[in-house]
């Protein structure tokens, strides 16, 4: 008798089948859903891995994640990383500053001038000219 690696609950199986039939899913989620369904049907890690083009170890880890976290295993876990230093309100203030008149003695704003002025006005603790460029690049009314 074959060893069944995973037993899905009836509700989870129904949810996954509906999810896969929708057609508009990120590839990672689709593959994980198909993998769980195939493991539930009694296929081995190796067989499912070959079908999906992944390592059998990946399928084993997916099954373990399902056992511990349920259907949350379909989504990627939050990744650590450097938190954003400038929020949306601060970005809006920098953009508004760039749209204002340039300071006396200057024809127009430069990225360095904008960065220095934003720090001077207390919009943020520190701001580089490259960050200002990135902020303005994302707007449609970039003066640069």
DSSP state of 4: P
CA distance 6 to 37: 9
Taking only the tens place, the pLDDT of each residue in 69-95 is 999 999 988 888 887 788 889 999 999
Taking only the tens place, the pLDDT of each residue in 43-67 is 999 999 999 999 999 999 999 999 9
Residue 136, CA distances (Å) to 76, 77, 81, 83, 110 in order:
30, 31, 23, 20, 11
Q: State if pTM tops 0.85.
A: no
Taking only the tens place, the pLDDT of each residue in 99-121 is 999 999 999 999 999 999 999 99
CA distance 9 to 45: 19
pLDDT tier at 1, thresholds 50, 70, 90: very low
């Amino acid at each position: 008798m074959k060893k069944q690696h995973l037993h899905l609950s009836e509700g989870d199986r129904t949810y996954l089948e509906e999810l896969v039939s929708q057609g508009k899913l990120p590839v990672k989620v689709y593959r994980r859903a198909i993998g769980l369904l195939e493991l539930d049907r009694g296929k081995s890690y190796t067989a499912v891995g070959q079908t999906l083009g992944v390592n059998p170890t990946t399928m084993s880890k997916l099954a373990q994640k399902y056992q511990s976290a349920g259907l949350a295993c379909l989504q990627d876990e939050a990744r650590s990383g450097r938190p954003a230093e400038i929020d949306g309100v601060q970005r809006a203030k920098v953009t508004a500053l760039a749209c204002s008149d340039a300071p006396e003695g200057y024809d127009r704003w430069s990225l360095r001038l904008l960065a220095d002025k934003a720090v001077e006005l207390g919009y943020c603790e520190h701001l580089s000219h490259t960050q200002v460029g990135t902020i303005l690049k994302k707007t449609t009314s970039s003066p640069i």
